[in-house]
Amino acid sequence: MDCQRWLPLEANPDFMQQLGLLPSWQFGDVFGMDPELLNLVPRPVCSILLLFPVTEKYEAFKQEQEAKIKSEGQKVSPQVYFMKQTISNACGTIGLIHALANNRDKLEFDSDSVMKKFLEDSANLTPEEKAKYLEKDESIRVTHEFSAQEGQTEAPSLDEKVDLHFITFANIDGHLYELDGRKPFPINHGDTTADSLLEDAIGVCKTFMQRDPDELRFTLVALHKA
């Protein structure tokens, strides 16, 4: 059976408003990793999204990392909301879901918000069940497709291979988690705080860039207080 394919999504903040997120928190670009540029990001920050190229070097690292965690284990809080990605090109939407779901205590939604209902209904499902639930959610798919068509660059065709991938970093129970639906589990990157989340997440993002020093296609977006 063919997996579902969605149009690739840019980091489009309007998408969140269309899903019923009230603008008390907003997505904004992070223009660089130097301390003076990080100081320009409004605080507090509750999530970071990284868009990066999936290269051979990254795939090799990913396999090593998964094998190491499977053999050594890791601590994962039961509070972590994590979903698998089974829909091709849906990593942008899944990244946004991970950012919102793991900060539900801070965010405000319209009473009839599509996203609020999705997060509530899927909260207690397994990562695989969450993925299946998203496959069946027409309202989020339609909003995603509309937003992808509205992006600033021309949307590629459904058949085009996209080698860029969105992942999310969030502070859950005082630990920095990497949430990537292509991985079998969340990755615990160690201690963090509400105040240091941006800098701690940037530290991990730098390792992505160091693995592929010739690559320039990295984009950072922060979910921050308006």
C-alpha distances in angstroms, 186 versus 65, 106, 177, 207? 12, 21, 6, 17
> Which one of the listed residues 91, 98, 175, 205 is annotated catalytic?
91
Question: In this structure, are strands 164-172 and 25-30 parallel, antiparallel, or unpaired?
Answer: unpaired
Rounded Cα gap, residues 124 and 101, in angstroms? 12
Give the CA distances from residue 83 to residues 9, 26, 182, in Å, rounded to whole numbers and listed in that order.
18, 22, 9
Contact 226, 28 (CB under 8 A): no
d(CA 139, CA 141): 5
Torsions phi, psi for 103 (to 5 deg): -135, 25
Selecting among 98, 144, 165, 224, the annotated active-site residue is: 165
Q: Is 144 annotated as catalytic?
A: no
165 as an active site residue: the answer is yes
Give the residue numbers annotated as catalytic, written as ranges: 91, 165
